[in-house]
Amino acid sequence: MALFDHATSAPRNRLLAALPPEDLARLRPRLEAVPLTLREVLSAPGKPITAIYFPETGYVSMLAYLKDGDVIEVAAVGNEGIVGMPILLGDDSDDCEAMVQNPGTALRMDAAAFRAELDHTPAFRSLLLRSALFQHRQVVRTAACNGRHHTDQRLARWLLVARDRAEGGAFAMTHELLAMMLGVRRAGITVAASQLQRAGLIHYERGRIEVTDRPGLEAAACECYGVARRALDHLLGSNPRVQSLRCH
């Protein structure tokens, strides 16, 4: 663990980077750089949220658990958002589990310090509320997508979202975990992934997936990916890193 470098480090989390310099300077002493390890649980359902995470690399899945033990991903949080949103909205726990899906790094802030800064830094609160609106729209869109679109379209959408937040390259993922994320049977994922691989859109081997034709994968996905991407660009402006990925 290490304190965020106050003098030289520019935050890679896009919410923090969008703050006015004087507001970011106020927050810096309260930010701690921490690793995000694969499958690490940052907050559990019904448990008090003790810290807010601003992912910089990697991403976190927000998972909803059902009584029979089934689980489904309802949102993904990368460097465009925060983990610990209920604190912003006046609660101290969440119904979802926040689990690291792709390892990386984050800036962590104590929950009590976060609450204090919401009162003292209006621009911080305003930006975070807009981020909460985006996350709400992402959950709504995911619900509509899961209810209406075919598995291959949903898988293409999920892979695009994951690649954006993993900043390109191959990432670890099994068929079992994909089935859990999308709330479908493993056999359905196997068929859908095989279709995408035969079309030359992805390469899947030994639990790792690489997007090999991004424009083609976007064409194979349902409209939900584009809707969410435009909503995020409206919130924070287009991400140059993602734009460069879309050109390859």
Per-residue pLDDT tens digits for 186-197: 999 999 999 999
Give the count of beta carbons closer than 10 Å to the beta carbon of residue 216. 16
What pLDDT does residue 244 have? Answer: 47
Torsion sign over Cα 111, 108, 26, 17: negative
Q: For residue 203, what pLDDT is reported? A: 94
CA–CA separation, 169 vs 155, rounded Å? 17
- pTM for the full predicted model: 0.87
Residues 165-173, mean pLDDT to the nearest whole number: 77
What CA dihedral angle connects 160, 216, 241 and 140, to 10 degrees? -30
When pLDDT is averaged across residues 134-145 and rounded to a whole number, the result is 89
Q: 236 falls in which pLDDT band (50, 70, 90)?
A: confident
pLDDT at 245: 46
Return d(Cα 211, Cα 114) in angstroms, integer.
37
By the 8 A CB rule, do 71 and 98 touch? no
Distance CA 58, CA 107 (A): 12
Segment 54-70 mean pLDDT:
92
pLDDT (mean) for 112-130? 93
Listed in order, the ranges of the chain carrying CATH 1.10.10.10 are 149-246
Structure tokens at 57: 């690399």
Tokens encoding 172? 């670890």
Q: What is the domain class of 149-246 according to CATH? A: mainly alpha
Residue 171, token pair as written in the block: 């990432």
Contact in structure between 210 and 203 (CB atoms under 8 Å):
yes
The dihedrals phi and psi of 70, each to the nearest 5 degrees, come to: -65, 155
Return all residues near 127 (Cβ < 8 A) that are at least 6 apart. 15, 18, 19
The count of C-alpha atoms lying within 13 angstroms of the C-alpha of 35, restricted to the half-sphere facing its C-beta, is 6
Count Cβ atoms below 10 Å from residue 143 Cβ, excluding itself.
12
pLDDT at 9: 76
Domain 2-145: give its CATH superfamily. Answer: Jelly Rolls (2.60.120.10)
Give yes or no for residue 243 having a pLDDT over 80: no
In the chain, ranges of CATH 2.60.120.10 domains: 2-145
pLDDT of res. 241: 53
Running DSSP on this structure, what letter comes out for residue 83? B
